[in-house]
Chains A and B, each alone.
Chain A
Amino acid sequence: MLEELKSAIIEGDEDLATELIKTLLDNGEKPGNILNKGLLKGMDVVGQRFKTYEMYLPEVIMSATAMKAAIDLLKPHISKADIVTMGKIVMATIEGDVHDIGKNLVSMMLEGAGFEIIDLGVDVSVKRIIESFCDESADIIGISALLTTTMLALERAIQLIRESTAGAKVMVGGAPLTHEYAEKIGADGFAPDALRAINLSKNLSGK
């Protein structure tokens, strides 16, 4: 049945996934197994297929939605010991920018990959990003910028983050950005798409 759960996630079947979770729990299956051998395995496959362009965006989103519903159902049953969190990431679209499609997708995929996401939304001040990072004891900050003006403000944002936090890893994303630009402005990494954001986050969190 864990295999079936994995397939339900891959197929993006939220109803089936939640039904299977209930059945598995009723049958005494360990929540940790359900999470690691069912759900996360399913999202791994989704991630791989997205990387090789075998799965398309709406399909990935359906899988992520099924994953989220399944996790919400499973959460009360999971002990801290069962959760192997990959790290905590504060995500935001930078102040002055209200575009969030990419950020939302990345957040969903990162959650599916086992990261804990604090999504601050759009048009977020650097001050708020820093506060959230500190309050949540997060590991990584992910900032998105889609406009050329807000993209150019990222350098200052990263400067402020460095001045105010110790050890924050900053990754950036958004259509006008490039690896070279991210390096120039002092970011720890740039991800051109959601899957690469997962790999980058794993590298930055050291897991």
Chain B
Amino acid sequence: MPIEDFVLQGGLIKDQINMMHEKALRLIEEVGIHIPHRGILKILSNYSGVKIYKDNVTFTSDLVLEALKKSKYVLPEYAQDENNWIVSSGVNQTKYYDLETGKIREPTEKDLIELTKLCDVLDTVGAAPVKPMDVPIHLQELLMHKISYEYSRYKCNDIYEIMDKSTVACANYVYEMAQAAGKWFTFGIWMISPRTFDRNNLEIAYRLLDRGIPMWISTMPVTGVSAPITIQAALLQSIFEHLAGLTMLNLINTKSFNYISPNDAFEADPFDMKYATFVYGSAEYARITLHKIALCRYYGIPIMAKTLLTAAKEPDAQAAFEIGSHTLLAALAGARAFRCGGLLNHGELYSAEMLVIVMEIIEYIRNVLKEEEFEEKRLMVDEIRAVGPGQSYIGRKSTFKNFRKEFWEPELFIHSNLGQWKEMGAKSIWQYSRELVKKRIEEHTYCIDKDIKVELDKIYDCAKRDEQLKKSYEF
């Protein structure tokens, strides 16, 4: 008989979410969203239940509910086992902590390869870790996809991918690469709160409609800036925008399925009014995560908790606490997938050291929450009877047989005492993690099939010579 799982109680109740849901439907029907794209408006105008006034579009509730019903969430195999804890790491960062010097600089193609290897060894998923800033702009997104395919089993290959494809030409090349490599291809639309879209983003989606590609919607309203100041209002705006965006996709992208991206589902971000910056890792952000988990359950969206972010600029005590406490709370609330591993400074700075520390934090929490069987034999009554005053359990067979199973041995958060630590070089956690990063990179073995690599190289070479692709990134 297992010991009952530890869970977190409280949070939004069903009635409260029902109210938010109803209010979101009202907003969609009465206020609508701004869709600055003629082609998309033309498609939408064919549907009854859609009202268009200039670029403002409202949808009736039945269209929204239909979109929710038809949305689909294709989980990769590794995500179907509830016992698997998933970590998504990095999102196209342009600033990186150099492993040798500890200085912040722009990442390069070499860094991208090394970090992708690291991510693969650590079994992390999601987007490419960094942007190769030494590569021409029109090739960067292509290269990020290519390297993800070549060096990683999971990156850019499922519902957790969130990569940019900033022009039609780029999207076409990525599509070709994905087909060649047998990888997942999807396209995302980001809303710009409040209630509108980037025209260019819509244009790319519009041009891909004939291909039958799954598409997702995301939005990130910011409290007090692009959403009202209260967390509840920002969440309501997020629900409203997500559902409206999904409805739009459902009506225009009819050749494939559509979904709310689990990566940022019902995201609402706090904003620090003192430093004029997003705040990831704050107490309010942790609360928002807990509300998001409840909302994802309500709408049947896979839970991906964005708990691995921090406002800290270094892998320090602030980073550890913010990430650790946030992740533990989310795990107690039922999350088993977490994202943005390796990021510092509100998600703008990539640190390989931070990534391995995050993996250690995840393991720690897993071990706190692990399933434990309650059995009479585990009460070890006979052992208690047998070992008396002045004796020890250390030499017992039962201790020998079970000590490794009972207690997790951390790799980074080592349990040495002060003297031992000094003997081992008195290294900081940062130094330990740096060593671990290098060790892990060396352990990397995965590489894509040779024939596929040849195909990808051909496509990339073609892209390098493609003047239209280059022009698509210019004015």
Contact = CB atoms under 8 A, between A and B. Distances in A.
B388 to A, nearest CB: 64
Nearest to B141: A149
Interface string A28-59: 00000000000000000000000001001110
Interface in B182-205: 192, 196, 198-200
A157 B273 contact: no
A101 interface: yes
A126 interface: yes
B275 interface: yes
A125 B475 contact: yes
A69 interface: no
A101 B94 contact: no
B473 interface: yes
B348 interface: yes
A148 interface: yes
A123 B198 CA distance: 9
Contacts of A148: 92, 94, 131, 164
A99 B164 contact: no
A149 B137 CA distance: 8
Contacts of B123: none
Closest 5 CB pairs of A and B: A56-B273, A152-B137, A57-B273, A149-B166, A57-B276
Contact of B164 (A149, A157, A175): A149
B166 A178 contact: no
Contacts of A53: 274-275
A148 B107 CA distance: 13
Interface in A105-154: 105, 123, 125-127, 148-149, 151-153
A156 B95 CA distance: 20
B198 A56 contact: no
B224 A178 contact: no
Given A58-B224, A181-B106, A176 B348 contact: yes
B204 to A, nearest CB: 12
B81 interface: no
A95 interface: yes
B212 to A, nearest CB: 26
Interface of B: 92, 94-95, 105-106, 131, 137, 140, 164, 166, 192, 196, 198-200, 224-226, 273-277, 348, 473-475
B314 to A, nearest CB: 16
Contacts of B199: 98, 123
Interface string A165-195: 0000000000110101100000000000110
Nearest to B164: A149
Contacts of B348: 175-176
Interface residues of A, number: 31
A57 B475 contact: no
Contact of A105 (B166, B192, B198, B276): B276
A126 to B, nearest CB: 5
A148 B132 CA distance: 11
Contacts of B225: 101
Contacts of A160: 475
Contact of A157 (B105, B196, B274, B475): B475
Given A95-B475, A148-B92, A149-B164, A194 B276 contact: yes
A123 to B, nearest CB: 7
B192 A99 contact: yes
Interface in A65-109: 95-99, 101-102, 105
Given A101-B226, A105-B276, A149-B164, 5 more contacts: A58-B224, A98-B196, A148-B131, A149-B166, A149-B473
Contacts of B131: 148
Contacts of B275: 53
8 contacts: A58-B273, A98-B192, A125-B475, A126-B475, A156-B475, A176-B94, A176-B348, A181-B106
Most buried by A among B164, B473, B475: B475
A108 to B, nearest CB: 12
A97 B192 CA distance: 10
A151 B273 CA distance: 24
A105 B200 CA distance: 25
Contacts of B192: 98-99
B94 A151 contact: yes
Nearest to A184: B106
Contacts of A151: 94
Contacts of B198: 96-98
Most buried by B among A58, A148, A153, A160: A148
